[in-house]
Structure 1
Amino acid sequence: MKSTESGLIAGGYDVGAFLFLAPISYFGGTRSKPLFISSGIIVMGVGALVFSLPYFTSGRYEFSEEVESICLKTLNTFNETSNTFCSKQNSHKNLSNYKWIFFFGQFLHGVGATPLYTLGCTYLDESLPTKLSSLYLGIFYSMAIVGPAVGYVFGGQMLKWLYVDWISVDSKELGLSNTSPVWVGAWYLVFIIGFMLSLVIFFPISLFPKELPDTKNIRKQKVSEAHSIHNNTDAVDNKDFGQSVKDFPKSLMILLRNPTFMFLNLTGASEGMVLSALASFLPKIIEQQFSLATSTAALMVGIVSIPGAGGGTFLGGYIVNRYDLKCAAIIKFCIFCSVVSICLSSAFLISCPNVNFAGLTDAYPNQSSTVLDIDSKCNSDCFCSSYQYDPVCGLNNQMYYSACYAGCRHVSLSENSKHYSDCKCLKPLMNSSQMNPISSGFTIEAKRNKCESECKLLPYFLFMIFLCEFFAFLIAMPSLTATLRCVADSQKSFALGIQWIGVRILGTIPAPLIFGSLIDLSCILWQKTCDKSSGACLVYDNQLMATNILGIVFFLKVLSFIFLFFSWFLYKSPQTETNAGPQNGLQSLHNEGMEMSAQPINFCPKLNLNDNSTKL
């Protein structure tokens, strides 16, 4: 599957959320929020079940009934092997249509999650004092980060422990180990577990009341920080505003006229594009750059994301609560974190050279380095099929398209992996000290595994990714708090819904497609199919991939900084509408100048984050 196709599947979540955000946030904001949230959890569970369906409705994995890919001596044997492989591929031709089932499963995930991230946030915010609200929302969003991160870790181990057809096939008999590039783990089990957990969580959440007992008293004690543009509007003056469908257009226009709210939406879109894309493709980037198994790459992402994303989200909420930051001060804090994030985007400068791949990145032995082709003199009499990609690693640490392209004529099964010997293409580079005899007459010259990368930059890359995630999510909680505070209380649920619509349209929906296309641009070897079309990408240019990702991440981070600056610059609190603020800076400066003679001069004034007149 191409990266653009996997990006399409990932985008199904955001398409589902986009279509249901407005009605759920608008009508759920004035009705029982726990009822909407519990219903959404059931929908998410059904989505997980749908996502696992392709395993049960399709045939077994093609390598569970594999065709041997060693060097063949006759053209007839080659034709027979190629025909067998193509007949299998034709029988599985409709498998590409399963991407729409995956898309629908993700669509249901997005629909089900919508009440949780809109109504769930406002339910917490309404039930807690202003100072505690950001802390509890930080805990809520931290768990929303830790959950997927644990899923990466657990799912990655599931891919490693169990073969996809473990019920009917013994992977040891096939010589398949989890380090083999053609290994596929039991991916579907995680989604079945997710479905069962949704059934367990649904019931207790549905029992919560529409409002917690002390919500009305807490609401009376809160002081509004909504943008002054909301003053004297129905959103503030009319208690019944938002109960009727007739109020929808007016409510929408009030929000659209709020400049701070709109620029915070654009910030969310640019940050969401980065985070959504990396959530989909970061394991793939790590796998390709450092030549790791898929399960190991997923495990690395999970280990880094739990303290990075989860810790950043929690700390962001804690800082707002600890220092009791007001709306303008919160946005200033976000601007500072945004500047640090721009610098940390340099993490994607870290790139490893490609693993030596015979005929692709490096020449075959005794072959001119200016001629790169997987067909060589050493395998010219093997009648190899380019349709059958089953890479092996020679003891010279060079990858080959298959054992056939390495010129290997004998195969042996040992230690849960296939080993090959009598490999003509390896002979010029082999010596007696490199060969590994396992029995009389059989010496290992190649293994059915990935070649290990000699690059030692993985720890540095993971540390930089940790910092990137930490500061990216350090913004998430404060920016959400600023969004809730810059709008009227009666519009909080609807405002979050509109914000998520903007984030989806401009950020998370196009993100997987854009990043997937950029990753595909770095492909240097496409899988060949029997109908002459290109399949999935088999090998990427690591340096080009890193450059493409760095360019778009840096650009989006700069956009986030610009949007945050304008959201602060245009903010006007309801209490200081007529006082000096960012928009009346010249008048304020003039007034202060007239009074300067009567005041002592202080060359080192103390910075107060909560002072809205203090500029960066």
Structure 2
Amino acid sequence: MSSEGSGGVVNKAFEGADDGFHTIDLRNNRQDDQHRTQASTEAVPSSPKRAALDEEQSLKCGWGMFRPTWLQRFRTAKWALFWLCWAGAIQGMVVNGFVNVVITTIEKRFGLRSMQTGVIAGGYDMASFACLAPVTYLGGRAGSSKPRWLGLGVLLMGTGSLLFALPHFLVPNYRIAGNEAADVCTPNRTSTSSCDGNVPAEGGAWAVAVFVVAQLLHGAGATPLFTLGVTYIDENVSKKMSSVYLGVYYTMAVVGPAMGYVIGGQMLTIYTDFLSVDSDALGITPVSSVWIGAWWVGFILSALLCLIVAIPLMAFPYELPGAAEIRASKVSEAHEGAASKSAAFSALHELPQAAAALLRNPTFLFLNLAGASEGMLISGFAAFLPKLIENQFAVNASDAALLLGVITVPAGGGGTFLGGWLVKRWRLACAGIIKLCVAATVVAAAFTFCFVLTCDDYPFAGVTVMYDSPSVPGADHLTALCNVECACASAPYSPVCGADGTVYYSACHAGCTTRTLAGSAQLFHQCSCILTKENTTLPVYDIEGVTNSSIPYEAINSICTTDCPYLWVFVSLSFGVMLFTFLATMPALSATLRCVREDQRSFALGIQWIKVRLLGTIPAPLLFGFLIDLSCSLWSTSCDKTGACLQYDNINMSRYMLGIALVGKLCSILFFFLAWWFYRPPGSKNGNAVVPSVDLVVCGEKTNGNVTNVANGTVERSNGYCNAALECSDHL
């Protein structure tokens, strides 16, 4: 056997032998292998380099391949927070602002009941319930681009706003009651019916369906904002600054509804068909009982804003520079238990196992239940508090919306920011944060007794008071001897305020035979049912901008004024309820994030919001709408079908609202207390011990090495690294 060449070995004994096998020369193959190995060796250094370049490219701001250098200056946590704040503000403005402001308006415009508008209000939470688990699970996985999910969600929310405004364009112009001959008393008139079945309905099931679908899109689009958005902030800022950043974020989310109340209220002062009809020519103003404001304008505006915000949101990378160092510097405060020791879950089929691991955390479970009871109250009162103010204190829709907007800004926004600031100022550990939630909820429960304040019902002829004229046997309660010859059965609901201070269903029911258009008001005369006291002069109406234009009248198409003195007392106490309710929201969120492992946080927030919606915000509008419908004393009827409520019993409404508010607050107090009682900090032996956690490190004594001095405790880390720039900086 001899060696030939460096490529291999040839055995001479086998040369020339014909044994049925082909001789294989390994020399050439060996040389080919060497060439391939050399080429592979040369390629190895380039693969990590290429991967590093791809990684660096993916961490730049931009869209697809367009990632210019000048755009990278915006790749900071502050700019991410800026756009997230606007996205959260728009969501609050639309869902908790515009929708709640226009509830009573669309009830009148489309003839809906409070239960139906409750279904509309609940559509948002139904979509959130369905989308939360998959969105938070898939969007929270390693390497997933949370900003992309956020941007697409904002675009979907804008689509829902466009759809919500669609019913306005699908119906003819609104008919103002009081402008037809049938709306005044015509003696010996024959009553006619307009129920021929050929006239398309302006409201009903189809309108509810369109509104609900729009709300479903709102809910699906807003799902990532307060789950993936929160974790994106928490992952890219230090633990010390996380509460401040989240406080700013949630403050803007509360300012959003305030903007919605104020802007939406101003939109309601514009007539709904202002593009084609002059409201002054109709003789109505925003204080008229039949006024319908431009409820749809705000939704068109919000759709444009969603488009503006979504584009920069989608430009952010999946993590910001410095995120790795921030992750390394954070220390877990997860609840010590079997659930916290579970392995991370990465496959979709393991989702039930991941949920079960979280539900075995008692602190997380009770914080969720407390959030559900708080969410029920916030959602229900956000939808129907404007209606309560309108009916209890005789305030029109635009003024009620403006009033709520004014108190929501300092109460909701200030309470949310104050809660986050207190956590940072007092350097509270998880147990201390939960105790702060208990204290704030106790104070808020005390302020709920504001719902004891109630005003007497309107003196509504035939409903709350009797006519001054004898009743007619066999007739309905709105018919009396003074209007029996007017045949008012076909007269639409158009309440007028009589000179005697009584409200009448319409000018026809008041027995008025003549009408005068005075500027932007309708004045009625010769009203047989309105009896003024002797030696009492009739009220006069002064036309604005016209001298010597005082016109006496017996009835006017506006709501009567009330002498109820409790409006501002109620507003002040409601301010206290809002302030302390929202003061607990930020600490409760911070406690939820701290009591679970870091890799569980996105999914934990998703599970929390599922339970908050399933147990709180989804049934809340239905429950509140049901209770408000129970307090109705006069329903509108058309063609033997019941429509919207026209008059409410103020005392019953007040009792129902007080009962549900007290029960909800007491449940919140109990759940927050149990969350504190069962919390076990890491390393604690006692099941309900309160042990300060490691984030109480005194910043002045941190070094880039071992942590040696911790307030109220000692943390031993043999190779720990504390980055002072990350933990102590107020500028990150």
Query: TM-score normalized by structure 2?
Result: 0.75
Q: 1:268 to 1:59 in 2, by over 3 A?
A: same
Question: Shift in Å at residue 211 of structure 1?
Answer: 0.7
Report how far residue 248 of structure 1 moved.
1.9
**Cα distance 1:575–1:550, how it changes in 2: closer, same or farther (>3 A)?**
same
Question: For the Cα contact (< 8 Å) 1:142–1:314, is it kept in 2?
Answer: yes
CA contact (8 A) 1:270 1:557 kept: yes
Q: Which moves more between the two structures, 223-232 or 538-547?
A: 223-232
Number of aligned residue pairs: 573
Q: Please name the residue that 1:499 is paired with.
A: 608
Of 296, 301, 304, which residue of structure 2 is paired with 1:193?
301
Aligned to 1:603: none
| Contact 2:334-2:340 within 8 A present in 1 as well | no
Is the partner of 1:420 in helix, strand or coil? Answer: strand
The percentage of aligned residue pairs carrying the same residue is 45
* Aligned partners of 2:279 and 2:285 also within 8 Å: yes
Q: Give the C-alpha shift of residue 232 in structure 1.
A: 6.6
Match of 2:123 in 1: 12
Match of 2:236 in 1: 127
Tell me which amino acid in the other structure corresponds to 2:170. Answer: T
Deviation of 1:432 after TM superposition, in Å, equals 4.5
CA deviation after TM superposition for structure 1 residue 22, in Å: 0.1
Equivalent of residue 464 in structure 1, options 551, 570, 573: 573
Kept in 2, the 8 Å contact 1:255–1:261? The answer is yes
Show the counterpart of 1:594.
Answer: none
Q: Secondary structure at the match of 1:385?
A: helix
CA distance in 2 between partners of 1:261 and 1:391 (Å):
52
Is the 8 Å Cα contact of residues 434 and 675 (structure 2) preserved in structure 1? yes
User: Aligned match of 2:504 in 384, 390, 400?
Assistant: 400
Whole-angstrom distance in 1 between the partners of 2:487 and 2:353: 72
**Partner Cα distance (2:253, 2:551) in 1:** 53
Written as runs of structure 1 = structure 2, the 5 A alignment for 1:133-532 is 133-160=242-269, 162-229=270-337, 233-235=341-343, 241-367=344-470, 373-385=477-489, 388-429=492-533, 431-436=535-540, 443-530=552-639, 532=640
Taking the aligned partners of 2:647 and 2:340, their CA distance within structure 1 comes to 61
- Report how far residue 387 of structure 1 moved: 5.5
What does the per-residue CA deviation read over 1:195-228, in whole Å, with 9 as the maximum and x for residues that have no partner? 0001100111111111110111111111111000
Name the counterpart of 2:172.
59
Confirm whether residue 26 of structure 1 aligns to residue 142 of structure 2.
no
The one-letter amino acid paired with 1:391 is P
Instruction: Give 1 or 2: higher helix fraction.
Output: 1
Query: Against the structure 1 CA distance between its residues 461 and 437, is the aligned structure 2 distance closer, same or farther, given a 3 Å change threshold?
Result: closer
Distance 1:361 1:442, change over 3 A: same
Q: Does the CA-based 8 Å contact 2:178-2:494 persist in structure 1?
A: no
Aligned position for 1:109: 218
The alignment partner of 2:515 has SS state of strand
Q: CA 1:89–1:348 in structure 2 vs 1: closer, same or farther (change >3 Å)?
A: farther
Q: Structure 1 CA distance, aligned partners of 2:188 and 2:451?
A: 48
Determine if contact 1:361/1:372 at 8 Å carries over to the other structure.
no
Q: Give the AA of the match of 1:187.
A: W
Distance 1:328 1:435 in 2: 64
> Take 1:440 and 1:223, find their aligned partners in 2: how far apart are those partners?
77
Report the residue type matching 1:48 in the other structure.
Answer: S
Task: Give the drift of 1:537.
Answer: 0.4
Q: CA deviation at 1:582?
A: 1.9
- Cα distance in 2, alignment partners of residues 293 and 165 from structure 1: 19
Aligned-partner Cα distance in 1 for 2:198–2:501: 31
- What's the counterpart of residue 46 of structure 2? none
Aligned partners of 1:584, 1:152: CA distance in 2, in Å? 42
Q: Assess if the C-alpha contact under 8 Å between 1:230 and 1:487 holds in 2.
A: no
CA contact (8 A) 1:11 1:508 kept: yes
* Shift of residue 430, structure 1, vs aligned partner: 6.2
Match of 2:674 in 1: 566
Counterpart code for 2:279:
S
Hey, what does 1:582 align to over in structure 2?
688
Change (3 A) 1:610 1:440: same
Deviating 4+ runs (over 6 angstroms)? 437-442
Per-residue deviation at 1:528?
1.4
Q: Give the SS at the match of 2:633.
A: strand
TM-score by length of 1: 0.89
Give the CA deviation at 1:509.
0.4
In the superposition, relative to structure 1, how do residues 149 and 430 fare at CA in structure 2: closer, same or farther (>3 Å)?
farther
What is the root-mean-square deviation in Å for CA atoms of aligned residues?
2.4
TM-superposition CA deviations, 1:241-262 (whole Å, max 9, x none): 3332243233212101000000
- Give the CA deviation at 1:62: 2.6
| SS of the residue 1:427 aligns to | coil
Q: Deviation of residue 65 (structure 1)?
A: 9.6
Residue 545 of structure 1 corresponds to: 653
Deviations 1:273-296 (A, max 9, x none): 000001100100000101111111
Residue deviations 1:509-548, cap 9 Å, x none? 0000001000110000000111x12111000000100001
C-alpha separation in 2, matches of 1:218 and 1:400: 68
Taking the aligned partners of 2:214 and 2:541, their CA distance within structure 1 comes to 50
Tell me the secondary structure at the aligned position of residue 572 of structure 1: coil
Distance in 1 (CA, whole Å) between partners of 2:330 and 2:413 is 29
Change (3 A) 1:321 1:88: farther
Q: What SS does structure 2 have at the residue aligned with 1:539?
A: strand
Go from structure 1 to structure 2 and tell me whether the alpha carbon gap of 1:89 and 1:8 turns closer, same or farther (over 3 Å shift).
farther
Equivalent residues of 2:431, 2:690 under 8 A apart: no
Larger of the two Rg values belongs to structure: 2
Amino acid at match of 1:523: C
Q: Which whole-Å CA distance do the structure 2 matches of 1:415 and 1:24 have between them?
A: 55
> Is contact 1:329-1:610 (8 Å) kept?
no
Q: Report the CA distance between 1:382 and its aligned residue.
A: 1.3
Kindly state the Cα deviation for residue 411 of structure 1 after the two structures are TM-superposed.
Answer: 0.2
Contact kept in structure 2, 1:408 and 1:423, CA below 8 Å? yes
- Cα distance between partner residues in 2 of 1:118 and 1:437: 56
Offset from partner CA, 1:309-366 (integer Å, 9 cap, x none): 1111110011001111110000001111111122111011111111211111112225
Q: CA separation in 1, counterparts of 2:148 and 2:568?
A: 45
Equivalent residues of 1:387, 1:527 under 8 A apart:
no
Aligned-partner residue type, residue 437 of structure 2: C
Shift of 1:435: 4.2
Residue 152 of structure 2 is aligned to residue 44 of structure 1: no
Please say if residues 386 and 528 of structure 1, whose CA atoms lie closer than 8 Å, have aligned partners that are also in contact. Answer: no
Q: 1:94 to 1:393 in 2, by over 3 A?
A: closer
Amino acid at match of 1:375: T
**SS at structure 2 position matched to 1:409:** strand
Quote the Cα distance in structure 2 between the aligned partners of 1:66 and 1:426.
21
Once the two structures are TM-superposed, the CA of residue 583 in structure 1 deviates from its matched residue by 6.6
CA–CA distance in 1 between the matches of 2:367 and 2:377? 16
Residues 97-146 of structure 1: per-residue CA shift (max 9 Å, x gap): 11110001111101011101100001111111112111111110110111
Please identify, of 54-63 and 440-449, the stretch whose mean Cα deviation from structure 2 is larger.
440-449
**Which secondary structure state, in structure 2, belongs to the residue aligned with residue 63 of structure 1?**
coil
Q: 1:63 to 1:306 in 2, by over 3 A?
A: same
Structure 1 spans left out of the alignment, 5+ residues: 236-240, 586-608, 612-616
- Of residues 25-34 and 92-101 in structure 1, the stretch that sits farther from structure 2 once superposed is 92-101
